Homo-oligomer: A and B are copies of this chain.
Amino acid sequence: MQLGQKSHAMQQFLDKILGHTRLYADEQQAILSFSEFESVVPGDRDFVRRGDSVNSSCVVVEGLLARTRSTGSGKNQITAFYMPGDMPDVHALMSPSATATLHAITPTRIMRIPRATVRSAVQKYPAIAEAFWRETMLDGMIAMEWTANIGQRQAKARIAHLCCEIAARSGVEKSGKFRVFFPVTQVNLADATGMSPVHVNRSLQALRADNVLDLREHHIYVQEWGALKEAGEFDGAYLGVPEPLRLLF
């Protein structure tokens, strides 16, 4: 049961990697075998703080995480959301001190993956290094897209674009009408989009009135995927590569 879900999350993680990097069966198996140390993080808590010494990365098994960055004047910016199957701190493979704070929005189960485990794997299978390196690149692409989203779009489009990303990254079928699990508060959304909570609230009401999206009951409800994409000027190309690659190893 619990183990079943572990495996499922690691399978999601592997599938995501296979979406961008070609790996042989033994390499795939090496990644699946990372499943060893599961732990649970209570909701509404920073469980890694920027600067903390870290010797493992993790994969989200269940729940929702945010990567945050707080400014000198006490403001808070969410710079990414991480869902089951995501590796929120792939950066930790390259730095012994955490490069960002990780905040559990809901109670979250994670699989810890020691850097030493990854080191053994990449030394045996260099293509795994390529896979994680590409994962790092894609994480950076998302950050770049967020910069453009926050810098150039106004409130409604900004929120719509974020919801598009969440929908696109979640595995759900996106044709016409659907919904996506996304248990954020409006304050979380404000921190992610660089807006005030009040303005988020009013923008959400407007988006609902436009029949573009409805955020309630921990879900994003979408009437028409096409309409949402248009409202958010969304092009998901930045989330991946056209086909699985193996360019260096």
Measured CB to CB, the residues of A under 8 A from B are: 51, 67, 69, 71-73, 75-77, 79-80, 91, 93-97, 99-100, 115, 118-119, 122-123, 126, 129-130, 132-134, 136-137, 139-141, 143-148, 150-153, 193-194, 233, 235, 237-238, 241-242, 245, 247-249
Q: How far is the CA of A91 from the CA of B75 in the complex (A)?
A: 31
A94-B133, A94-B134 known; A147-B247 Cβ under 8 A: no
A73-B233, A249-B123 known; A94-B148 Cβ under 8 A: no
* 21 contacting pairs across A/B (C-beta < 8 A): A69-B144, A69-B145, A71-B148, A71-B153, A72-B235, A77-B148, A77-B151, A79-B147, A91-B137, A94-B133, A94-B134, A95-B137, A95-B245, A96-B245, A96-B247, A99-B137, A99-B238, A136-B137, A137-B140, A143-B143, A143-B144
Q: How far is the CA of A152 from the CA of B72 in the complex (A)?
A: 10
Q: Are B93 and A248 in contact (CB under 8 A)?
A: yes
Chain B residue numbers with a CB within 8 Å of A140 are: 91, 136-137, 139-140, 143
Most buried by B among A77, A118, A148: A148
Q: How far is the CA of A192 from the CA of B96 in the complex (A)?
A: 31
Q: Are B148 and A151 in contact (CB under 8 A)?
A: no
